[in-house]
Amino acid sequence: MIRPILIYGNPKLRESSVVISQFGYMGLDILIADMFETIKNADGVGLAASQIGLNIRLIIVNIEEENFKKAFINPDITFKSDNLVSEIENCLSLPNLAGPVERPDKIEIVYANGNLKYQKESFEGLKARVIQHEIDHLDGVLWIDHLGENRKLINEPLEYIKNMNVKVNYPIL
């Protein structure tokens, strides 16, 4: 089921998400399937549960050109490389907006899979970038928060988004 995506201005996007406990969350498989359907429909590469209004620590990534499709439960970054790389990012919660964000190019994370089994894994390049972007969502952080001084350059488009005065081809809330 395609779920509507919360867009900038919705206070739920700014909340911190809670850890999913061993016994705490029913219907996780269905939720993950819904999230993959939702980003496919919206042509996105990643989604955090908070973007569909559920403040739990769950993200999904689907980078088709790299054949990479994965759900991460309770992800935590345990290592960040010193080497920072700047690339253009966008976000389904900030439609029609894109800008450069500097991030470490390699990370190591600990996360649980669908069976809530924990594992450690390293990622680099686009995968590392998307994972960091999505983990930011779990802490109420958006890519525009990394802009520093340049943030004021996008005040106007942000107002449009806040007022839902945007054209998108996926359902929004």
Active centre residues (catalytic)? 134
User: C-beta of 162: minimal distance to Zn ion in Å?
Assistant: 16
Nearer to Zn ion, 21 or 98 (CB): 98
- Size, binding site for Zn ion by CB under 5 A: 1
Q: With DSSP H G I counted as helix, E B as strand and the rest as coil, what are the percentages for the chain, rounded to 5?
A: 35, 35, 30
91 binds Zn ion (CB under 5 A): yes
- Spatial separation of the C-alpha atoms in residues 155 and 152, rounded to whole Å: 5
Site string for Zn ion, 44-83 (x = CB under 5 A): ----------------------------------------
Nearer to Zn ion, 14 or 116 (CB): 14
- Spatial separation of the C-alpha atoms in residues 68 and 88, rounded to whole Å: 20
Q: 2-30 burial string, b = 16+ CB within 10 Å, else e? A: ebebbbbebeebeeebeebeeeeeeebee
User: C-beta of 77: minimal distance to Zn ion in Å?
Assistant: 16
3-class DSSP assignment, residue 10: coil
Helix (H) or strand (E) holding 158: helix 155-162
Nearer to Zn ion, 112 or 144 (CB): 144
Residue nearest to Zn ion (CB): 91
User: C-beta of 139: minimal distance to Zn ion in Å?
Assistant: 12
Name the residues that contact Zn ion, by CB under 5 A. 91
